[in-house]
Amino acid sequence: MKLLVSDLTDDQDWLLRVAGFDRTRERGVETLLTVGHGYAGTRGSLEEGSRASLPGTFLAGVFDPIHQVPDPPDSPAEAPALVVAPNWLALALQIDDEWLSLDEQGLALEHERVLDMRHGVVVRHWRHRQQSGRTIELTTLRCALFLTGADRHVFLQRAWIAPEMGGGRLRLTAALDGRVTNALRPGPPLVPVRSAATPTPVLLLRTPRSHILLAMAQSCSLRGPGLVDSRREVPTHRGAPTGGCPYIRGPGLVDCRREVPGQHRTQTEPLRVVESWEWQARSGETYVFERLVSSFTSRQVADPAAASTHHVLGLVGLTATSSDVEQAGDLTPQPAVPEWARRGKGEPPPPSPTRGGGQGGEVRPWLTGVRGATASRLLDEHQERWAERWRAADVQIVGDSVAQRALRFAAYHLMIAADPEDEHVSIGARTLSGEAYRGHVFWDVETYMLPFFIFTWPAAARALLMYRYHTLDGARAKANRMGYRGALYAWESAATGHEATARWVRTPQGEVIPIFTGLRAHHVSADVAYAVWQYWRATADDDFFLRAGAEIVLSTACFWASRAERDAQGRYHIRGVIGPDEYHERVDDSAYTNAMARLNLEYGRETVAWLRQHHPRHWQEMSDRLDVNDRELALWSDVVQRLAISDDPRTGLIEQFAGYFALEDLDLRAYEPRTAAMQVLLGRERIARTQVIKQADVVLLCHLLGDRLDREVIARNFDYYEPRCDHASSLSPSTHALLAARLGRLELARRYFHQAATIDLEDSMGNAALGIHAAACGGLWQVVAFGIAGMQLAEDGLAFDPHLLPGWRSVDFPVQWRGRRLDVAIQAEPAQVCFRLSGEAGPLWVRVGSGPKVPLRPGEMARIDYRGSGPAEAAAAELGGE
C-alpha cells in the first residue's frame, strides 16, 4: 500500500507533503490541502475528524446573512457569509470497540498527507497502532472531480483499509453530515429539509435566511476479499488508465470475487445520512471503500435533491425509478427535474442567456453525459482535464525548486477556485478553502488574480468579469445611495453586489473601531474597469466587450465623472477616499485612485469611439440607457485633463496623496524586529500621521501604468516607497517583487518573492488557517510574467524584458494572446528568450528589451538574445519553424 502514496508522481515539485500531525498547525494544513473545482472547495481535514480540525466544504455563491457583531445603529445588522456545506468526507473506522483517531488513542506509526497538484488529488497514508495493540493501515484519496462537459458537481473519496496485525470486527461509517456551522461567526445551523436512504442516500438542507437548497447524494461501495456491496455488481478489476498516476488505478490487488456476508445499513437523521458497514476483517487483506458524491444547489437547478440523486446514480451506472426520484426529489414546490434529465438521455436545454447560477436555472446537459461511467473512468477524465489545465498554465523553473513548488501551489489554488461556467460567482479573498473574509469578493480578483486567468484560462477570466457585469445593479445602487451617478462597486461583494462591508469591528483589545473601506475605498470601480480593458486587449473578445465589458467601463466612468469635484481653478479632485494603503483612511487625491480613475475615463472615451464606429445601434441604445451624452463625454475629457495627481518633476516622485510628503517620516527599520503590523503597535491615529504605508500603493500604480511611466520614474518611486512600506497585507510582497525584478534589483526581488510564496506554504503570517491568500497566489504568477519576464501588452504583440532571479537557470511559461498560444522560455546561459507560437489565429510580434519587433507566425519559433540585468536589449533574433 505504501506504493500508492510514494508513486504519486516522480516529480516532487508537484507535491506538497505534510508528514505527521501537528495540532497547532492542523488548520493551516487543512487550508493547503484543499481540493476543489470552482463549484466547491473542501478543506483537507481528516476524514475521521479531530478536535484540532476545522472542516469545511464551501459552495461558490452560497451565502447566508449572519448577524454583525457588534451592531451599532448605523451598521447593517446582517452581512452575507459563505455557508459551510455538509461534510461529505466524514469517514470513521472502528475496530471492535476502538475508533481510529489521531486525537487520543493509540500511536500513529506513520502519517503523511500529500497534495498532488498535478492530478488535483489529496492522498493520505496512515499506519496506526491501536491501544489494543492492533495495527491498521489506512490510505485515502479524495478529489473534486474535473469532468468532461463542464461537470463540476462530483467528489470522489476512496479508502484502502488494511488491518496488519490481528484482524477484528471492522465498522466503517460514511456520512453526509450537515451538522456544520461557521466557526468565525456561528449562525443558525442549516435547516433540514429531507434526508433519504433510497434510491441512494441523499441529504437536502436549506440555508436559514437566504433559503438556498443544498443537496448531496452519495453512492458508496465496499469491496474486499470477503465482501461485496450487496446492491450492485462489483467488477473484478478496475481499468488502469494509461499514463496516469498509479494510485488512481486503485490496488488492483483485491480479489473481489469471493463473497462473504457483511452488514450494511443506512441511517437517516434530519441533518445527516450515515451509511455503515460491519464485517469480520482479516490481517493482511485490503478492503476498498469508494464514495461518489454529487451536489447541486437551487442556484443551479430547481430540484437539487433529484438532480444530485440522478447524477450520482448516473455516474455509477444505475437508474432510479420514477418513484425513487419522486421520493428523493419531491421535496419542494419548485419545478421537478425535466424529463430529459429523468431519462438520463435526450437533448440538453437550450443555452440560457447567462451561464451558471441563476436562481433555479435549467438542469445542465452533463447530467446525461456521464451515465454508466465508472469511477476509474471519471478519474481518467479528471486527470485529462488537469493535464489540459497545466498545459495552459504551468510555469516551469529550473534552478529553484522552492519557487517551482510555490508557483504550482499558487496556480493550483487559483484554478480550483474558478468556475468558467458560472458567471454569477467570483473568487473570495480566501477562495473556497476557508471562511475568513466570509467569502467576500474584493478588488484582489481584478488586480491580483485576473491576469493569471486572462493569460492562462480566458474563459475563467471572462466568467469572473461577468460576475461584475451581473452585479452592476448593486454597484449602481451604492453610487446612487452615496449621491453619485454610474456604478460604484462594493468594496466587499457577495451574491448580489450590494455592499457587504461591516461598519464596525471589535478588536481583541476590546475596542469597537469603525471600518471605512465600504464607504471610501472607491478605487475598486476603476480596478474592475482596468481589468475589463486588460481582458479585452489580451483576448480580443469583442462579444464579451459588447455584451458586458463596455457597460462596466461606461458605468464606472460615469461614477468617476460625478465623483470628481471641480475647484475654483478648474482642477478636479477626488476627496475623502482610501487608496490601497489603508493606513491613511481619509485622503484627498490619492495618486492611485486618481490615476486609475483617469484611466477609467480614458477607457470610457475609447469605448464610446469603438461603439460608435463598429456598433452604432448598440451605442445608441447604451447611450440612452446609461445617459452618456455629449455633455457627459465632454465632462469626462475635462476630468481626464485636469484631475489632480501630484508629481514632482524635479524628483520624479508621485505624492501618494495630497499632503503625504509633509507627514512624519518614520524609519521602519528602527522598529525591527517586531511581531505585529505597525498599525497594531503604534495605533490607528498615530500611524495615519506618518508616511508608513500598509501595502504597495504608488508602487502598484507604477506596475499597472506600465510603459506609461519612464523606467527612471518607476525606480525613483520604488526607492522612495519601498522602505516606507509595512507590508501589512498579503497583497504587498508580490507587487514589490514584481517591480524589483523589473528594475533589476534581483536580490530584493528574490526576497519579496519568497515572502509572497511563504504566506500560505509556511504560514509565515500565522493566518493561513482560514483560507488561502488568493491574491498572493495571483501576485506570484504576476511576478514571473510581468516582473521576471517583464511582459508588457501592446497592440498586436507582446514585449519582454527578462530578469531571471538569482539561481534561476530558466523559466518557461505559456500565455494565451488573442486566440494564440505563445510559449515563452527564458534562460540564463546563454541569455536568450525562446518563443514558440501556436494556434489558428494570425501572426504576432514579440520584442525583447529595446530590440526590434520580431514577427511570429503560428508554428514558428524565435530565439532572441537579451542581456542579464538592467534594461534588456535584443542582441540577435533567430527565427525558425518547429
Instruction: Give yes or no for a contact between 415 and 459, defined as CB atoms under 8 angstroms apart.
Output: no
Nearest Cα to Cα of residue 218 among 299, 120, 351, 316: 316
Q: Which of 159, 406, 429, 785 binds another protein (CB under 8 A)?
A: 429
| Beta carbon of residue 618, minimum distance to another protein (angstroms, whole number) | 38
Nearer to another protein, 69 or 240 (CB): 69
Per CB under 8 A, the list member of 1, 35, 52, 487 interacting with another protein is 52
Binding region for another protein (CB under 8 A) out of 233-241, 504-512, 710-718, 795-803:
504-512
Distance CA(504)–CA(76), nearest Å, equals 10
626 binds another protein (CB under 8 A): no
The contact mask relative to another protein for 742-771 (x = CB under 8 A, - = no) is -----------------x-----xxx-xx-
When binding is defined by CB under 8 A, the residue of 7, 22, 259, 543 that contacts another protein is 22
Which set of grid coordinates corresponds to residue 859? 508554428
* The only residue of 234, 418, 436, 519 in contact with another protein, by rule CB under 8 A: 436
Give me Rg for the CA atoms of the chain: 28
- The reply on whether position 17 binds another protein by CB under 8 A is no
Binding segment toward another protein, per CB under 8 A, in 236-244, 258-266, 507-515, 780-788: 507-515
- Sign (positive or negative) of CA dihedral 184, 185, 186, 192: negative
Distance set, CA 628 to CA 619, 622, 852 (Å): 10, 8, 41
Least CB distance from residue 509 to another protein, whole Å?
A: 5
517 binding another protein? (CB under 8 A): yes
User: Contact between 77 and another protein (CB under 8 A)?
Assistant: no
Helix (H) or strand (E) holding 217: strand 213-223
Question: 253 or 513: whose CB is closer to another protein?
Answer: 513
**Span from 180-188, 346-354, 649-657, 869-877 in contact with another protein (CB under 8 A):** 180-188
**Packing angle between helix 774-782 and helix 746-761, nearest 10 degrees?**
150
Q: How far apart are CA 555 and CA 176, in angstroms?
A: 45
Closer residue to another protein (CB): 193 or 692: 692
> With respect to another protein, which residue has the nearer C-beta, 313 or 774?
774
Q: Which of 34, 590, 729, 827 binds another protein (CB under 8 A)?
A: 729
Please, which residue, 486 or 733, has the CB nearer to another protein? 733
Site string for another protein, 131-170 (x = CB under 8 A): ----------------------------------------
Q: Is 501 in the site for another protein (CB under 8 A)?
A: yes
Instruction: Give the phi and the psi of residue 745 in degrees, each rounded to 5.
Output: -85, 75
For the bound state, the minimum distance from the C-beta of residue 158 to another protein, rounded and expressed in Å, comes to: 29
Alpha carbon distance 16, 34 (integer Å): 11
Residue 92, exposed/middle/buried by CB under 10 A (0-12, 13-18, 19+)?
Answer: middle
Catalytic residue among 582, 632, 722, 860: 582
Site for another protein in 326-385 (CB under 8 A): none
By the rule CB under 8 A, 74 interacts with another protein? no
Judged by beta carbon, residue 82 or residue 256, the one nearer another protein is 82
Give CA separation, 862 vs 396, 793, 816, 823, 867, in Å.
19, 18, 17, 10, 16
**CA dihedral sign, ordered 318, 321, 326, 328:** negative
Residue number, 53 or 94, with CB nearest to another protein: 53
The answer for residues whose C-beta is within 8 angstroms of residue 676's C-beta and 6 or more apart is none
CA distance 64 to 209: 6
Task: Based on the shown chain and the rule CB under 8 A, indicate whether residue 625 belongs to the binding site for another protein.
Answer: no
Distance in angstroms (rounded) separating the CA atoms of residues 13 and 133: 37
| Single residue of 18, 27, 172, 844 touching another protein by CB under 8 A | 27
Of the candidate spans 288-296, 513-521, 717-725, 837-845, the one that interacts with another protein by CB under 8 A turns out to be 513-521
> In whole angstroms, what separates CA 798 from the centre of its chain?
26
* CB 556, min distance to another protein, A: 22
Using omega within 30 degrees of 0 as the cis cutoff, is the peptide bond preceding 241 cis?
no
Contacting residue, 318, 392, 402, 505, with another protein by CB under 8 A: 505
* Residue of the chain from 171, 249, 272, 438 that contacts another protein (CB under 8 A): 438
Q: Taking the complex as a whole, how short is the minimal distance between the CB of residue 577 and another protein, in angstroms?
A: 16
* 564 contacts another protein (rule: CB under 8 A): no
Instruction: List Cα–Cα distances, 724 to 93, 185, 668, 693, 813, in angstroms.
Output: 55, 35, 7, 6, 33
Query: Which residues, 215 to 254, sit near another protein by CB under 8 A?
Result: none
Give burial (CB, 10 Å; 0-12/13-18/19+) of 362. Answer: middle
> What is the spatial distance between Cα 826 and Cα 824, in angstroms, rounded to a whole number?
7
In the complex, the smallest distance separating the C-beta of residue 570 from another protein, rounded to whole angstroms, is 37
Burial of 813 (0-12, 13-18, 19+ CB in 10 A): buried
- What residues pair up with 56 in beta bridges, in sequence order? none
# binding residues, another protein (CB under 8 A): 53
Q: How far apart are CA 754 and CA 780, in angstroms?
A: 9
CA angle in degrees (0–180, nearest 5) for 305-307-312: 100
Q: Is 506 among the residues that bind another protein (CB under 8 A)?
A: yes
Per-residue contact flags (x/-) with another protein for residues 686 to 725, judged by CB under 8 A: --------x-------------------------------
By CB under 8 A, name the one of 393, 502, 524, 822 that touches another protein. Answer: 502
Q: Extract the C-alpha cell encoding 478.
A: 451604492
Decide if 269 contacts 195 (C-beta within 8 A).
yes
51 binds another protein (CB under 8 A): yes
Residues 423, 467 contacting (CB under 8 angstroms)? yes
From the CB of 776, what's the least distance to another protein, in Å? 10
- Could you tell me the smallest distance in angstroms from the CB atom of residue 499 to another protein? 12
**Min dist. Cβ of residue 436 to another protein (A):** 4
Shortest CB 658 distance to another protein, Å: 25
CB within 8 Å of 132: residues ≥ 6 apart: 95, 96, 98, 166
Is residue 582 annotated as a catalytic residue, yes or no?
A: yes
Q: Give the nearer residue to another protein in terms of CB position, either 290 or 726.
A: 726
**CA 803 – CA 394 distance, rounded (Å):** 19
Name which position in 328, 363, 488, 728 contacts another protein (CB under 8 A). 728
Secondary structure of 825-850 in the HEC alphabet? EEECCCCEEEEEEECCCCCEEEEEEC
HSE value, Cβ hemisphere, 13 Å, CA-based, for 707 = 14
Shortest spacing between CB 505 and another protein, in angstroms: 4
Grid cell listed for 452 = 493569471
Judged by CB under 8 A, which of 17, 681, 796, 842 binds another protein?
A: 681
Of 10, 24, 257, 795, the one binding another protein (CB under 8 A) is: 24
Binding mask 660-679 for another protein (x = CB under 8 A): -----------xxxxxxx-x
Q: Nearer to another protein by C-beta: 436 or 698?
A: 436
Cα–Cα dist 114/101, whole Å: 19
Interface with another protein, residue 25, by CB under 8 A: yes
Residues carrying an active site annotation: 582
- Residues lying near another protein in the complex (CB under 8 A): 22-27, 51-52, 54, 183-185, 429, 436-438, 440, 442, 492, 501-502, 504-510, 513, 515, 517, 582, 671-677, 679-681, 694, 728-731, 759, 765-767, 769-770
